[in-house]
Amino acid sequence: MESDPVRDQSTELVFRLMKLVDIPHILIIEREAFTMPWTEEAFRNELTHNHFAKYMVMELHGHIIGYAGMWAIVDEAHVTNIALLEAYRGRKWGERLLDELMKTAAFLGMKSITLEVRVSNEVAQNLYRKKGFRPAGTRKGYYSDNREDALIMWADLPEYGEQGMMEGSVDLK
d(CA 56, CA 82): 10
Per-residue exposure over 22-46, b if at least 16 CB sit within 10 Å of its own CB, e if not:
bbebbbebbeebeeebbeeebbeeb
Whether residue 116 lies in the annotated active site: yes
Choose the catalytic residue: 116, 142, 160, 167: 116
C-alpha gyration radius of the chain: 16
Containing H/E element for 94?
Answer: helix 93-107
Whether residue 83 contacts residue 29, with contact meaning beta carbons closer than 8 Å, is answered with yes
Choose the catalytic residue: 76, 88, 128, 160: 128
Whether residue 148 lies in the annotated active site: no
Catalytic residues: 116, 128
